[in-house]
Amino acid sequence: MNELKYIDKIQRDDSLLSMPQSLSQMLTLVGSDDYSIEDLIKVVMNDPGLTSRILKMANSSFYGHRSEISTLHQAVMMLGATQIKCLVLSASVFQVQKLESDYNLDIKGMFTHFIGVALVSKNLADFLGHNQSEELFIAGLLHDIGQLFFIRHFPQDYMQVEERLSEFPSRFEAEQKILGIDHAAIGQMLAEKWGFPAILKDTIGGHHNSAPNIAENQTMQIIQLADLLHPYSSDDTPIKIEKRMASIGQLINLLNINHNDIETVTRNLPNEIITIADSFGIDIGDPSELLARANRELFNSFITIEHLFRERQDLSQRILIEERRAAVMETKNVAIATLSHYINNAAMAISGRAQLLKMLRDRERIIDKDDRLDNILEVVEKSLKKIMAVILELRDLTNLEEIEKYSESNAICIDDRVQSRLKELENSGEVLLPVQEAQPDK
């Protein structure tokens, strides 16, 4: 059985993923109830390379301190346990770039996903008043560490999973079928071998558990929602995206939050990802590559919307032929709510990327030689207003009986209505923020 060689590797090899002893000691220490800063400093001092990096980071322009941080005690007090742990992680786990060229794997995309899940997990935990937000940040960084184990130690095996993803409902199930074991199970074994605290072992091993099994586990709900909100999209298809959106709806209900809350905790995510990657030396590519990758994901989302629209049109047509008017109306309402939700998410993504682009220009990470960026962003803004006008109109279409129609037929004056909406938005003079749609009925 394939899984035996992976398990044997974990049990016998002490150099897995080059995980330094200092990280294992640190995670165990911080997971206890009675650790002190002095205890943390003692662990750090046993690693001269880590000590040097901590002092260098504490004195970086990112923190803007006027006076020099000259002692390890000052640096640890300033940075805190979370950032110290991230420094150790970035020095070891996030170092597999060579495999990107050897096996055509999107390692930088994976690292962007890890950082994104870590940030969303911490932001959600803070928003919900969870008392272990730092641990959830680390859990987010490490939730897919089983994938890194496969990629580093068995890259040819894992390429089979990458090449056959389209045959399976998810990456998780592809791993189970092809490798005999999934990355969550492998990750939990690694966490146990390294002596990680229970919260890390449980979230790494259980972040793909089904929603009914985590109904009382807020920590697992946060990690799962963060994983879904910032996906590693190489295996996305229209069916998988639709399934992911349904899972997001379930977890939002379990956590008793809404889509406005989600927008709040993810609003500055692109900027936060770039900042964390820069601060901890994790290579996710330059910002323009990150933006290009985000645009590709956005394009895939639009293709998905088109696919879903055609599907629902066909379904509505078949039901109309069968003269089931009541069923038609219900189906249209669900379709409109679903499409409005997807279009709204796409508009939010466009708005976020536009803000990121402007931020990169302001930071001089992008050179706008021809001064065309402001005009481009103005076009984006106007286009978003048109999208919002359509979304608002789609919302009202769920109650067709109250909508005014042309006098000579039952047709709706849709063009006039959209133009009226657009004029209202343009006259408001406000900066456009996408409208949050309610999750459609399941």
* C-beta atoms surrounding 93 within 10 Å: 22
Predicted confidence (pLDDT) at residue 425 exceeds the cutoff of 90: no
- What is the structure's pLDDT at 298? 54
Contact 337, 318 (CB under 8 A): no
Evaluate if residue 31 carries a pLDDT over 70.
no
Question: What is the average per-residue pLDDT within 162-188?
Answer: 91
Name the least confident of 133-137, 193-197, 312-316.
Answer: 312-316
Q: What is the pLDDT of residues 64-93, one digit of tens each?
A: 666 788 888 888 888 887 777 777 777 667
Give the model's pLDDT for residue 20. Answer: 63
Confidence band of 406 (pLDDT split at 50, 70, 90): very low
Q: What is the C-alpha to C-alpha distance for residues 293 and 268, in angstroms, rounded to an integer?
A: 17
Q: How confident is the model at residue 17 (pLDDT cuts 50, 70, 90)?
A: low
pLDDT, residue 403, reads 47
Q: DSSP code of 435?
A: P
Q: For residue range 201-210, what is the model confidence (pLDDT) as tens digits?
A: 899 998 888 7
Query: What average pLDDT does range 29-33 have in this prediction?
Result: 68
Closest CA to 141 of 182, 177, 71, 191: 191
In angstroms, the CA 344 to CA 362 distance is 27
Span 25-36, mean pLDDT?
72
In this prediction, residue 111 carries a pLDDT of 86
- Cβ count within 10 A of residue 339: 19
Measured N-to-C along each axis, helices 21-30 and 72-90 cross at an angle, to the nearest 10 degrees, of: 110
How do residues 289-314 score in pLDDT, each as one tens digit?
666 666 555 555 555 555 556 666 67
For residue range 222-241, what is the model confidence (pLDDT) as tens digits?
Answer: 999 999 888 776 556 666 77
C-alpha triplet 46, 81, 278: angle, nearest 5°: 95
d(CA 90, CA 432): 38
pLDDT value of position 258: 86
Q: What is the pLDDT of residues 362-400, one digit of tens each?
A: 777 777 777 888 888 888 888 888 887 877 777 776 655
Distance separating alpha carbons of residues 32 and 36, to the nearest angstrom? 10
Of the candidates 377, 391, 311, 378, the one whose C-alpha atom is nearest the C-alpha of residue 346 is 391
What gap in Å lies between CA 36 and CA 249, rounded to an integer?
A: 40
